[in-house]
Amino acid sequence: MVEFVLAGIPMLFAWISIVEMARGMWYYHTLQYSVKRAASYLTVHGATCAMAPNSCTIQIKDVAAVLRSTAIGISDSNMNVTFTSQSGTSVSCAPLSNCSANTTQWPPTTNGDNQVGKFVQIRADIMFHSALSMWVPGQGGVQFGVFDFPGFAQEMIRF
C-alpha cells in the first residue's frame, strides 16, 4: 500500500498528463492542418476563376466548408476565423458556423486582391479546455486549464 502511494499515484498523474498533452497537440495539429488546407484551396481559386469562361470563384461559405471538413474533432462553434486579403480587407467568423451562409466572394476583386501573386491569410483560434485541473489555495475551487490555440496560414494566389 505504501509503495502504491509513493509510486502509483505520481505515475497515474503522469499518465493522465501525457494523454492530455497528446490531446492538446492533436487539436493544435488538426487546426493548423485545416487552416493550411483552406489557404491552399483559396490560392487555386483566384484571378483566373473570375474570368470568362471559367466559373470557379468561391465564397466565404466554401472556404468555411473546407475548414469544417478538415478540422475533424473540432467543433465549428468553438473556432473563430478571420480571412484577410493583401490590402487588409477582412471577414471575421466568430464562430465559424456564422459563415456557413456568407456569400462574399473571396478573395475579393476590390483593391486588386484577386490577382496572381497577391497573398491571402487565414487565422483560426480555438479554445482548448484541458481536463487537467489545478487547485490554488486561496482562490476557491478547482480551476481547469483553458488555452488559446492559434492556426495561421498565408498563401500566394497561384492562378
- Which pLDDT belongs to residue 50? 66
Could you tell me the pTM of the whole model?
0.84
Instruction: Read off the pLDDT of residues 73-113 as tens digits, 9 standing for 90 and up.
Output: 998 899 999 999 999 999 999 999 999 999 998 888 888 88
Alpha helices per DSSP H over 44-146? 60-70
Residue whose C-alpha cell is 493544435: 28
| Residue-level pLDDT at 95 | 92
Residues of the chain under the 50 pLDDT cut: none
Distance CA 123, CA 13 (A): 34
Residue 1 one-letter amino acid = M
State the pLDDT at residue 82: 96
CA dihedral for 126, 132, 134, 140, sign (positive or negative): positive
Q: What cell does 35 get? A: 487552416
